[in-house]
């Protein structure tokens, strides 16, 4: 019985290690997929994003911080300003999709969406 438990324990441990290796390999492949030259030409910077730290081309928006009442007024999205509950927002800073943001649509504050 002890021998069977030991075999099961070793098998489960090696299975976890294999999963971690595959995950790391997938992450490395995604990091290599970023075209650094194209990113820089677009005015961006290759940076780790989200909790996974996957490399992405993060491009700043020219209208970042401008006041807005709807995403149609921005290059990116119109996001609720950090303070207060009043309607109205500011154009987002860049194309980084990660984090918790509250979009403003038609002057109305929407629900908060967290992406990671």
| Per-residue confidence (pLDDT) for residue 19, from 0 to 100 | 37
Which of 84, 86, 85, 91 has the alpha carbon at shortest distance from 70?
Answer: 91
CA distance 106 to 112: 16
- 78-80 and 45-49 strand pairing: unpaired
Verdict on whether the full-model pTM lies above 0.85: no
Q: What are residue 60's DSSP bridge partners?
A: 94
Averaged over successive runs of 10 residues, the pLDDT of the chain (116 residues) comes to 46 42 48 84 95 94 96 96 74 95 93 92
Give the pLDDT confidence score for residue 29 in this predicted structure: 52
């Amino acid at each position: 019985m002890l021998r069977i438990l030991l075999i099961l324990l070793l098998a489960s441990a090696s299975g976890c290690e294999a999963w971690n290796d595959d995950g790391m390999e997938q992450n490395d492949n995604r990091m290599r997929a970023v075209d650094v030259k194209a990113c820089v030409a677009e005015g961006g910077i290759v940076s780790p994003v989200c909790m996974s730290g996957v490399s992405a081309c993060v491009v700043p928006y020219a209208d970042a911080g401008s006041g807005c009442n709807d995403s149609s007024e921005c290059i990116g999205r119109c996001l609720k300003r950090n303070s207060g509950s009043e309607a109205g927002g500011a154009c987002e800073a860049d194309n980084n999709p990660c984090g918790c943001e509250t979009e403003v649509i038609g002057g109305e504050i929407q629900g908060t969406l967290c992406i990671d």
